[in-house]
């Protein structure tokens, strides 16, 4: 019945926004599957000639998990797979480029599809590259705010005279389906703990609650302040000047961007080519461009260090679901298996658990958290590295780590629980669908989807939700060495930025993925450690829907096409994909979830 209801709910949402035809297409595409296997480049095939410019951007997707994340191009729209690279390999590649005598500099050109925290780590690596004395140049044609944030890491930013630059601040909006579901005859009943636990609100009404608005405003303000601060330091502009610029228009043509000192110069493409050649790049074979290599390809030269002891870098990226899961989410059983494998191998001396998850299934989260505890009991340091979001179930699996590192912009906390029960009772009446049967016990049909739960049944579920919340508080209290009541004060489902989480002891220190690896090596007293990424490759199945909703990317040309994020058709499809993926992730065996309501999309 659970799977039947998901189909009904997906159809109701799709009907409201796109009509039955689009809904039918999306549901069919979810069911359809295509097997794809991604492989890291072979370092032996990456030959770099002298005076080559390293190009970062051109719609390259950076994921935490190696070879896992947004697939390249749409099958139905006639495109092919785009470039991807994992964060650790990208960071190491930038360091390698600083020492490589054949790399003359870096050009930041086109969109880099990554999360805010990933971009902050890449900017830090680029800052380290600049100490080599090699130039870093940025080129803007029509940039998103995310592209401009990356561009500000450069020594010089040049802009096309007919282009535009986006710098406008952050916004977080959700679609609310509550009234739509009521019209469709779909009933939604919620049990929860925590006044800030707002992940269920889209299914209940048409607007956000005041607690949800409060925490959203505080979180967005914290992350925006960090972005402005970083750009201020790079561009040598005051934060007040930058805020005033963002509030003055949000979109700027080249002349205005130059006047506001957001860029350093205005160049046509051919003029940029000359500037890059002057910076040290050789002519390409055609004589019309310059010698270059993309970051995605150059990362194939990276060889991780070897040593007597191994550090396992285990990735938890995506929503947490019960069972094995798919390549794009965290199957609780699969991640627990990975951690158990590390625990059983004596060659591993430490673990880095990279968490980039808004949470999900309460049961699956508990299964994973148990394995983290067992690693600690064996004496292995478990250092948590938080990405863009490590909240609710994402925080649950992190709480018992030896040490927690986050970025100031990480979304974390959200210590709260909710239960969600959907039913199609009213919908069945509308379409004259009858349901009848027998049962042998009073609660044999508890939470059956063909009818609304009674107040007595909801009380039973509420008791269960309360119990999960108490377990959550206990997990955090034990892991963070805090009192239960102190955890309760900062819990209530409230979301915190990494900056604020440090002050309330939910995290120990600011730092990125490589900082966490160093911390793990120190705690394991390893002077030279071997890095092992788990999973190293993703050979799972990828649905046809995933491929259709992916961006179109072209790795080779320096001047890549505008990001598909600006394509209204793909924007429309992606909006519904997020909804459908969230619905599919609701597979907890008890219907109890640890899910964060706020996620910043990669851009």
Enumerate the active-site residues. 197, 392
How far is residue 519's CA from residue 370's CA, in Å, rounded to a whole number? 22
Contact 376, 369 (CB under 8 A): no
Backbone φ, ψ for residue 376 (5° rounding):
-65, -40
Q: What secondary structure, in 3-state letters, does 218-253 show?
A: HHHHHHHHHHHHHHHHHHCCCHHHHHHHHHHCCEEE
**E strand or H helix that includes residue 427:** helix 425-430
Q: Measure the CA angle with vertex 511, ends 302 and 332; round to 5°.
A: 80
β-strands 251-253, 156-166 pairing: antiparallel
Please list, in sequence order, all residues whose beta carbon lies within 8 angstroms of the beta carbon of residue 470, skipping any fewer than 6 positions away: none
Measured CA distances, 458 to 419, 445, 465 (Å): 10, 13, 10
Classify residue 183 as exposed, middle or buried by CB count within 10 Å of its CB (0-12, 13-18, 19+).
middle
DSSP classification of residue 299:
G
How far is residue 106's CA from residue 121's CA, in Å, rounded to a whole number? 16
* Tokens describing residue 76: 């139905």
Please list, in sequence order, all residues whose beta carbon lies within 8 angstroms of the beta carbon of residue 54, skipping any fewer than 6 positions away: 94, 97, 103, 105, 106, 107, 292, 293, 294, 295, 298
* CA dihedral for 283, 111, 569, 541, sign (positive or negative): positive
Q: Can you count the helices (H) and strands (E) in the chain?
A: 20, 26
Classify residue 72 as exposed, middle or buried by CB count within 10 Å of its CB (0-12, 13-18, 19+).
buried
Helices of type H across 260-324? 269-278, 295-298
Q: At what angle do helices 87-99 and 116-130 cross, to 10 degrees?
A: 10
CA dihedral 500, 501, 503, 504 (to 10 degrees): 130
Please list, in sequence order, all residues whose beta carbon lies within 8 angstroms of the beta carbon of residue 564, skipping any fewer than 6 positions away: 59, 551, 552, 553, 570
- Dmax (CA) for the chain in angstroms is 83
Contact 89, 266 (CB under 8 A): no
Beta-carbon count within 10 A of 213 CB: 12
Contact 530, 312 (CB under 8 A): no
How far is residue 335's CA from residue 470's CA, in Å, rounded to a whole number? 24
């Amino acid at each position: 019945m659970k799977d039947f209801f998901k189909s009904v709910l997906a159809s109701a949402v799709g009907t409201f926004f796109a009509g039955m035809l689009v809904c039918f297409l999306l549901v069919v595409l979810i069911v359809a599957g295509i097997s794809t296997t991604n492989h890291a480049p072979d370092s032996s095939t990456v030959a770099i000639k002298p005076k080559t410019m390293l190009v970062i951007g051109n719609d390259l997707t950076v994921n935490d998990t190696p070879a896992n994340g947004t697939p390249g191009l749409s099958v139905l729209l006639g495109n092919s797979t785009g470039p991807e690279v994992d964060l650790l390999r990208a960071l190491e590649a930038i360091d390698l480029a600083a020492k490589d005598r054949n790399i003359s500099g870096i050009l930041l050109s086109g969109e880099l599809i990554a999360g805010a925290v990933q971009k902050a780590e890449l900017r830090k690596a680029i800052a380290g590259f600049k100490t080599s004395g090699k130039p870093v140049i940025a080129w803007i044609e029509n940039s998103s705010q995310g592209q401009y944030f990356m561009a500000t890491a450069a020594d010089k930013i040049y802009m096309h005279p007919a282009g535009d630059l986006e710098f406008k601040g952050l916004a977080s909006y959700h679609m609310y389906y509550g009234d739509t579901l009521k019209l469709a005859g779909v009933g939604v009943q919620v049990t929860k703990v925590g006044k800030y636990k707002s992940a269920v609100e889209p299914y209940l009404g048409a607007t956000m609650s005041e607690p949800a608005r409060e925490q959203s405003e505080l979180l967005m303000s914290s992350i925006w302040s960090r972005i402005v601060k970083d750009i201020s330091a790079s561009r040598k502009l005051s934060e007040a000047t930058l805020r005033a610029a963002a509030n003055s228009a949000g979109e700027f043509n080249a002349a205005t961007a130059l006047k506001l000192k957001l860029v350093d110069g205005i160049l046509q493409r051919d003029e940029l080519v000359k500037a890059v050649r002057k910076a040290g790049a050789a002519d390409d074979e055609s004589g019309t461009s310059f010698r270059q290599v993309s970051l995605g390809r150059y990362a194939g030269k990276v060889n991780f260090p070897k040593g007597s002891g191994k550090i396992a870098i285990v990735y938890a990226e995506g929503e947490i679901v019960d069972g094995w899961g798919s390549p794009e989410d965290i199957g609780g059983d699969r991640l627990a298996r990975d951690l158990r494998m590390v625990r059983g191998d004596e060659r591993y001396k430490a673990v880095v658990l990279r968490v980039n998850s808004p949470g999900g299934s309460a049961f699956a989260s508990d299964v994973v958290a148990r394995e983290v505890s067992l690693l600690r009991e064996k004496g292995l340091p478990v250092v948590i590295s938080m990405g863009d979001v490590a909240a609710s179930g994402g925080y649950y699996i992190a709480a018992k780590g030896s040490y927690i590192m986050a970025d100031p912009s990480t979304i974390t906390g959200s210590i709260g629980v909710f239960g969600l029960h959907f039913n199609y009772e009213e919908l069945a009446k509308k379409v004259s669908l009858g349901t009848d049967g027998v049962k042998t016990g009073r609660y044999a049909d508890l939470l059956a989807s063909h009818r609304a739960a009674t107040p007595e049944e909801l009380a039973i579920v509420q008791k269960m939700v309360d119990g999960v919340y108490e377990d959550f508080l206990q997990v955090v209290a034990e892991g963070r060495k805090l009192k239960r009541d102190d955890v309760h004060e900062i819990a209530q489902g409230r979301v915190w930025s990494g900056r604020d989480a440090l002050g309330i002891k939910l995290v120990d220190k600011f730092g990125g993925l490589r900082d966490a690896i160093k911390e793990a090596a120190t705690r394991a007293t390893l002077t030279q450690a071997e890095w092992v990424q788990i999973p190293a490759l993703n050979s799972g199945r990828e649905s046809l829907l995933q491929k259709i909703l992916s961006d179109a990317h072209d790795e080779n040309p320096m001047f890549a096409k505008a990001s598909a994020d600006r394509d209204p058709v793909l924007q429309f499809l992606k909006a519904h994909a997020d909804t459908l993926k969230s619905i599919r992730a609701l597979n907890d065996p008890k219907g109890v979830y640890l899910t964060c309501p706020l996620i910043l999309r990669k851009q």
